[in-house]
């Protein structure tokens, strides 16, 4: 019987397993994860779960019983030590396993502050896993002084949740502005103002020089010479793809495990999906850290294991929740040269449209589902609207989409 | 714990006993109903859990929010008077016997 072994029981691994069964694959499916619980959703960790509004059980992607019903052999709490690609075998903490297809869905690991500057002190936390958040929650108490390191989406979400929970929040970003790597200055300004109104203190162009404390952290020394009395720190300075298993096996690595348009790595019988893998995308090689991508790439690989020869075409989108604002992002803004702001008359409703030349690349939509949905359709169909029409808040976006869709040629 | 019948795009039906603390989307996924994608897992961010709800049960499915309504205007399968994002509809005791149709595409 054909056996598929999936290493990594996150969103990508879980999706690959479930899709294989949905496609009628009748062989063995073994889903191995190093965390002690069944696959769960990570996005709510920095939102509802940190706020205590949802339970660990509610985070599960599917109930444990569903894996059993689908004859998926789920093995949590199991570590994979080595791949022997010629023998098509892996060695794990609970013994060795033969495979016909091996799917690497090992995800990404959060970057840490170096121990030499106090990164290993007590009450200095990362936020990537359920276990991380379970460690944070006892320290996450109203009135405590929280320092968030990193002004990306995770850092901003933590800051928002903390302010809502009554903590005193300072967020530092080393770059000259928040969201520098992922969004335009206009979007950064929108979220800076939102956080300021809610009492979050944001210090841009400011780095942590040293964290100090005997046991738990007590002081943070910042590059602007400020010394900040601090009870806890959450570090959100990005992730790196988890390639340890792959590189030890000799798989090609290029900003993650290098896979082709079908999801194949450089070694026969081994596939790569989700946060850990880089893949070709319109002439470039990219890596995405997002749930929708993890699901869709994993489902494509599941189809290809069944012989479909399906090319994976990413349709990137992301979301973030901060205070009362839902941010939805369609597309990738890489190499934009212009941002068009569409300002709605409703408060806090706006969208920022990224263009590269004439071409629409991406949109950040804040409390603006209509702009998001229209832009996503346009980007996926290769439609670029007239920027001036987009800027005009009286333009009906639905009609604009319809008028352009008639003549558009899809780009995938 | 009402019994809800999901009708898939190919006509296949699936009866689900739903928990009262779930959304319709969660009840469907837990039972393995095909055709509901729910990429954002209930954040009302993706519009891939679109379903058609019997209008006779409108009193139990609740009001459509502004955000949800804007998303529904651009779903992959056409919006009708019965359209909802199933992640935004909570299971209610009065839904006993309700039928939910899953659209052909999300």
Q: Counting Cβ atoms within 10 Å, is residue A218 exposed (0-12), middle (13-18) or buried (19+)?
A: middle
CB atoms within 10 A of CB B9: 13
Residues A370-391: what's their mean pLDDT? 96
Q: Which CATH class is domain A324-404?
A: alpha beta
Q: Is A374 on the interface with B (CB under 8 A)?
A: yes
Distance spanning both ends of chain A, measured CA to CA: 36
Cβ distance A369 to B70 less than 8 Å, yes or no, reads: yes
Which H or E element spans position A157?
Answer: helix A153-164
Q: Is A62 on the interface with B (CB under 8 A)?
A: yes
| Partners of residue B68 in chain A, C-beta under 8 Å | 369
Residues A147-157: what's their mean pLDDT? 98
**Confidence check: pLDDT of A408 > 60:** no
* Spatial distance between the Cα atoms of A191 and A187, rounded to a whole number of angstroms: 6
**pLDDT tier at A412 (50, 70, 90 boundaries)?**
very low
Cβ distance A370 to B74 less than 8 Å, yes or no, reads: yes
| pLDDT for B21 | 82
- Dmax (CA) of chain A: 67
Domain ranges of chain A: 3-109+241-305, 112-237, 324-404
Token pair belonging to A284: 């470039």
Q: Is B32 on the interface with A (CB under 8 A)?
A: yes
Q: What is the CATH number of domain A3-109+241-305?
A: 3.50.50.60
Contact indicator for A139, A232 with CB cutoff of 8 Å: yes
**Confidence check: pLDDT of A144 > 90:** yes
Closest to A211 (Cα-Cα) out of A111, A114, A109:
A114
For the segment A338-348, what is each residue's pLDDT rounded down to a tens digit?
999 999 999 99
Residues A351-363: what's their mean pLDDT? 98
**pLDDT tier at A410 (50, 70, 90 boundaries)?**
very low
| B3-101 fold | Ubiquitin-like (UB roll) (3.10.20)
Contact indicator for A341, A391 with CB cutoff of 8 Å: yes
CATH superfamily of the domain spanning A112-237: FAD/NAD(P)-binding domain (3.50.50.60)
Residues A144-168: what's their mean pLDDT? 98
Compute the mean pLDDT over every residue in chain A, rounded to the nearest whole number.
96
Is A324-404 the same fold as A3-109+241-305? no
Which H or E element spans position A191?
Answer: helix A185-197
**pLDDT tier at A406 (50, 70, 90 boundaries)?**
low
**Confidence check: pLDDT of B103 > 90:** yes
Cβ distance A66 to B34 less than 8 Å, yes or no, reads: no
Least confident of A147-156, A207-216, A398-407: A398-407
Task: Please enumerate, as own/partner, the contacts of A362-365 that have beta carbons within 8 Å and a separation of 24 or more.
Answer: A362/A329, A362/A330, A362/A331, A362/A332, A362/A333, A362/A336, A363/A329, A363/A330, A363/A331, A364/A183, A364/A184, A364/A187, A364/A327, A364/A328, A364/A329, A365/A327, A365/A328, A365/A329, A365/A330
Compute the mean pLDDT over every residue in chain B, rounded to the nearest whole number.
95
Taking the CA atoms of residue A78, residue A81, residue A87 and residue A88 in that order, the dihedral angle to the nearest 10 degrees is 50
For the segment B53-69, what is each residue's pLDDT rounded down to a tens digit?
999 999 999 999 999 99
Cα–chain center distance at A221: 30
Q: Which residues contact B51 (CB under 8 A, 6 or more apart)?
A: B24, B28, B36, B83, B84, B85, B86, B100, B101, B102, B103
For the segment B6-27, what is each residue's pLDDT rounded down to a tens digit?
999 999 999 999 999 899 999 9
Question: ipTM score of the complex?
Answer: 0.93
Q: Is A66 on the interface with B (CB under 8 A)?
A: yes
């Amino acid at each position: 019987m054909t056996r598929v072994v999936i290493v990594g029981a996150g969103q990508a691994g879980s999706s690959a397993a479930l899709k294989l069964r949905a496609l009628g694959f009748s062989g063995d499916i073994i889903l191995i994860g190093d965390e002690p619980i069944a696959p769960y959703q990570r996005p709510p960790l920095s939102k509802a779960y940190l706020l205590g509004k949802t339970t660990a059980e509610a985070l599960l992607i599917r109930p444990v019983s569903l894996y059993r019903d689908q004859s998926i052999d789920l093995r949590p709490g199991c570590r994979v030590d080595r791949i022997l690609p010629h023998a098509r075998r892996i060695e794990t903490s609970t013994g060795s396993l033969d495979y016909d297809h091996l799917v690497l869905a090992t995800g990404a690991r959060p970057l840490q502050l170096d121990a030499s500057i106090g990164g290993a002190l007590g009450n200095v936390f990362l936020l990537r896993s359920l276990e991380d958040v379970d460690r944070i929650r006892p320290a996450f108490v109203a009135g405590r002084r929280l320092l968030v390191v990193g002004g990306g989406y995770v850092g901003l979400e933590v800051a928002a949740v903390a302010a809502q929970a009554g903590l005193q929040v300072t967020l530092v970003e080393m770059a000259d502005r928040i969201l520098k790597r992922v969004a335009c200055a206009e979007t950064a300004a929108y979220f800076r103002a939102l956080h300021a109104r809610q009492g979050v203190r944001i210090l841009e162009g400011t780095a942590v020089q040293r964290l100090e404390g005997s046991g738990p952290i007590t002081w943070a020394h910042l590059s602007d010479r400020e010394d900040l009395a601090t009870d806890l720190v959450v570090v959100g300075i990005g992730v790196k793809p988890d390639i340890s298993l792959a590189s030890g096996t000799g798989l090609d690595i290029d900003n993650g495990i290098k896979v082709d348009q079908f999801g194949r790595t450089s070694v026969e019988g081994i596939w790569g999906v989700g946060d850990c893998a880089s893949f070709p995308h319109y002439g470039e090689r990219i890596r995405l850290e997002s749930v929708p991508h993890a699901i869709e790439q994993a489902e494509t690989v599941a189809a290809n294991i069944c012989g479909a020869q399906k090319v994976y075409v990413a349709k990137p989108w992301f979301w973030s929740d901060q205070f009362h604002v839902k941010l939805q992002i369609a597309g990738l803004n890489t190499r934009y040269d212009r941002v068009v702001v569409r300002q709605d008359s409703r408060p806090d409703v706006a969208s920022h449209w990224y263009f590269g030349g004439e071409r629409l690349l991406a949109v950040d939509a804040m409390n603006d589902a209509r702009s998001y949905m229209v832009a996503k359709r346009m980007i996926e169909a290769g439609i670029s609207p007239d920027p001036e029409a987009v800027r005009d808040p009286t333009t009906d976006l639905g009609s604009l989409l319809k008028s352009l869709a008639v003549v558009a040629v899809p780009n995938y | 714990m009402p019994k809800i019948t999901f009708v898939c795009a190919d006509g296949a039906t699936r009866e689900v006993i739903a928990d009262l603390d779930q959304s319709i989307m969660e009840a469907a996924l837990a039972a393995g109903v095909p055709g509901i994608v729910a990429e954002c897992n209930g954040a009302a961010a993706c519009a891939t859990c679109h379903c058609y709800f019997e209008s006779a049960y409108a009193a139990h499915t609740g009001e459509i929010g502004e955000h949800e309504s804007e998303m529904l205007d651009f779903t992959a399968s056409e919006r009708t008077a019965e359209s909802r994002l199933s992640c935004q509809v909570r299971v209610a005791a009065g839904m006993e016997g309700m039928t939910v149709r899953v659209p052909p595409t999300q």
